Amino acid sequence: MKKIIVIGIIILVLVGGGLFWWRHYFVFGEGVKAGTLNYIVKKGYLFKTWEGKLIQSGFKTPTPGAIQSNEFQFSIVIDSVAESLERASGKFVELRYKEYLGTLPWRGVSKYVVIEILNVKDLDPATGLPYR
Protein backbone atom coordinates (compact mmCIF):
# COMPACT_ATOMS: atom_id res chain seq x y z
CA MET A 1 0.00 0.00 0.00
CA LYS A 2 2.86 2.35 0.87
CA LYS A 3 4.49 1.64 -2.50
CA ILE A 4 1.30 2.59 -4.39
CA ILE A 5 1.04 5.89 -2.52
CA VAL A 6 4.68 6.77 -3.29
CA ILE A 7 4.24 5.91 -6.99
CA GLY A 8 1.01 7.97 -7.07
CA ILE A 9 2.74 10.99 -5.52
CA ILE A 10 5.64 10.72 -8.00
CA ILE A 11 3.20 10.56 -10.91
CA LEU A 12 1.26 13.59 -9.59
CA VAL A 13 4.48 15.61 -9.19
CA LEU A 14 5.63 14.72 -12.73
CA VAL A 15 2.24 15.53 -14.28
CA GLY A 16 2.02 18.77 -12.27
CA GLY A 17 5.53 19.79 -13.33
CA GLY A 18 4.73 19.01 -16.96
CA LEU A 19 1.54 21.08 -16.84
CA PHE A 20 3.39 23.99 -15.20
CA TRP A 21 6.09 23.89 -17.89
CA TRP A 22 3.49 23.71 -20.67
CA ARG A 23 1.51 26.64 -19.24
CA HIS A 24 4.44 28.98 -18.47
CA TYR A 25 7.47 27.98 -20.59
CA PHE A 26 6.05 26.46 -23.79
CA VAL A 27 6.24 29.01 -26.63
CA PHE A 28 2.73 29.02 -28.08
CA GLY A 29 3.56 31.34 -30.98
CA GLU A 30 6.12 33.75 -32.40
CA GLY A 31 5.60 36.76 -34.61
CA VAL A 32 6.32 40.35 -35.55
CA LYS A 33 4.25 43.42 -34.69
CA ALA A 34 4.78 46.92 -36.07
CA GLY A 35 3.44 50.27 -34.95
CA THR A 36 4.15 53.45 -33.04
CA LEU A 37 5.79 52.86 -29.69
CA ASN A 38 3.63 54.50 -27.03
CA TYR A 39 5.69 53.84 -23.89
CA ILE A 40 8.22 51.63 -22.13
CA VAL A 41 8.25 51.51 -18.33
CA LYS A 42 9.98 49.45 -15.66
CA LYS A 43 7.58 48.70 -12.83
CA GLY A 44 6.58 46.18 -10.21
CA TYR A 45 6.42 45.69 -6.44
CA LEU A 46 8.59 42.62 -5.99
CA PHE A 47 9.83 41.86 -9.51
CA LYS A 48 10.75 44.92 -11.59
CA THR A 49 9.79 44.13 -15.17
CA TRP A 50 9.78 46.13 -18.41
CA GLU A 51 6.32 46.73 -19.86
CA GLY A 52 5.39 48.55 -23.06
CA LYS A 53 2.60 49.42 -25.45
CA LEU A 54 2.63 49.62 -29.23
CA ILE A 55 -0.15 51.44 -31.11
CA GLN A 56 -0.82 49.77 -34.45
CA SER A 57 -2.34 51.57 -37.42
CA GLY A 58 -5.89 50.80 -38.48
CA PHE A 59 -8.96 49.94 -36.52
CA LYS A 60 -10.23 46.66 -35.19
CA THR A 61 -13.73 46.17 -33.96
CA PRO A 62 -15.21 43.03 -32.40
CA THR A 63 -18.75 44.38 -32.89
CA PRO A 64 -20.11 46.19 -35.97
CA GLY A 65 -20.39 49.95 -35.57
CA ALA A 66 -17.83 50.24 -32.76
CA ILE A 67 -14.32 51.66 -33.16
CA GLN A 68 -11.38 50.29 -31.22
CA SER A 69 -7.69 51.12 -31.64
CA ASN A 70 -5.18 48.30 -32.03
CA GLU A 71 -2.92 48.20 -28.99
CA PHE A 72 -0.21 45.60 -28.42
CA GLN A 73 0.86 45.38 -24.78
CA PHE A 74 4.03 43.44 -24.13
CA SER A 75 6.77 42.64 -21.63
CA ILE A 76 10.54 42.64 -22.17
CA VAL A 77 12.97 40.37 -20.32
CA ILE A 78 16.22 41.46 -22.02
CA ASP A 79 17.50 44.72 -20.49
CA SER A 80 19.46 45.80 -23.59
CA VAL A 81 16.33 45.53 -25.76
CA ALA A 82 14.31 47.56 -23.23
CA GLU A 83 16.98 50.27 -23.00
CA SER A 84 17.10 50.56 -26.80
CA LEU A 85 13.31 50.87 -26.94
CA GLU A 86 13.36 53.59 -24.26
CA ARG A 87 15.11 55.83 -26.77
CA ALA A 88 12.57 54.97 -29.50
CA SER A 89 9.38 56.21 -27.83
CA GLY A 90 7.07 57.86 -30.37
CA LYS A 91 8.83 56.19 -33.31
CA PHE A 92 7.65 53.46 -35.67
CA VAL A 93 9.13 50.14 -34.54
CA GLU A 94 8.99 46.50 -35.63
CA LEU A 95 9.29 44.00 -32.78
CA ARG A 96 9.77 40.23 -32.74
CA TYR A 97 7.95 38.53 -29.87
CA LYS A 98 7.14 35.17 -28.30
CA GLU A 99 3.68 34.31 -27.00
CA TYR A 100 3.24 32.13 -23.93
CA LEU A 101 0.03 30.61 -22.57
CA GLY A 102 0.57 32.06 -19.09
CA THR A 103 2.53 34.78 -17.34
CA LEU A 104 5.20 34.58 -14.66
CA PRO A 105 5.83 37.42 -12.18
CA TRP A 106 9.54 37.70 -13.08
CA ARG A 107 8.80 37.70 -16.83
CA GLY A 108 6.19 40.47 -16.80
CA VAL A 109 2.43 40.93 -16.77
CA SER A 110 1.86 40.15 -20.44
CA LYS A 111 1.88 36.80 -22.20
CA TYR A 112 3.67 38.53 -25.12
CA VAL A 113 7.43 38.88 -24.55
CA VAL A 114 9.50 40.99 -26.97
CA ILE A 115 12.86 39.39 -27.77
CA GLU A 116 14.25 41.56 -30.58
CA ILE A 117 13.96 44.96 -32.28
CA LEU A 118 13.86 44.54 -36.06
CA ASN A 119 13.52 48.15 -37.19
CA VAL A 120 13.11 51.69 -35.83
CA LYS A 121 11.98 54.57 -38.07
CA ASP A 122 11.13 58.20 -37.42
CA LEU A 123 7.59 59.31 -38.22
CA ASP A 124 6.96 61.97 -40.86
CA PRO A 125 5.46 64.95 -38.95
CA ALA A 126 3.20 65.87 -41.88
CA THR A 127 1.59 62.47 -42.45
CA GLY A 128 2.29 60.55 -39.26
CA LEU A 129 3.67 57.71 -41.40
CA PRO A 130 7.19 56.23 -41.15
CA TYR A 131 9.86 57.79 -43.36
CA ARG A 132 10.87 55.59 -46.26
- Ordered by start, the domain boundaries in the chain are 28-121
Query: What topology is assigned to 28-121 in CATH?
Result: OB fold (Dihydrolipoamide Acetyltransferase, E2P) (2.40.50)
**pLDDT recorded at residue 62:** 59
Q: How confident is the model at residue 14 (pLDDT cuts 50, 70, 90)?
A: very high
**pLDDT for residue 86 is more than 60:** yes
Instruction: Using CB atoms within 10 Å of the CB of residue 111, give its burial: 0 to 12 exposed, 13 to 18 middle, 19+ buried.
Output: buried
**pLDDT for residue 125 is more than 70:** no
Q: How confident is the model at residue 56 (pLDDT cuts 50, 70, 90)?
A: confident
Highest mean pLDDT (candidates 21-30, 51-60, 66-75): 21-30
**pLDDT for residue 44 is more than 80:** yes
Residues 6+ apart with CB under 8 A from 39: 52, 53, 89
**pLDDT recorded at residue 73:** 94
* Predicted confidence (pLDDT) per residue in 90-112, tens digit: 899 999 999 999 889 999 899 99
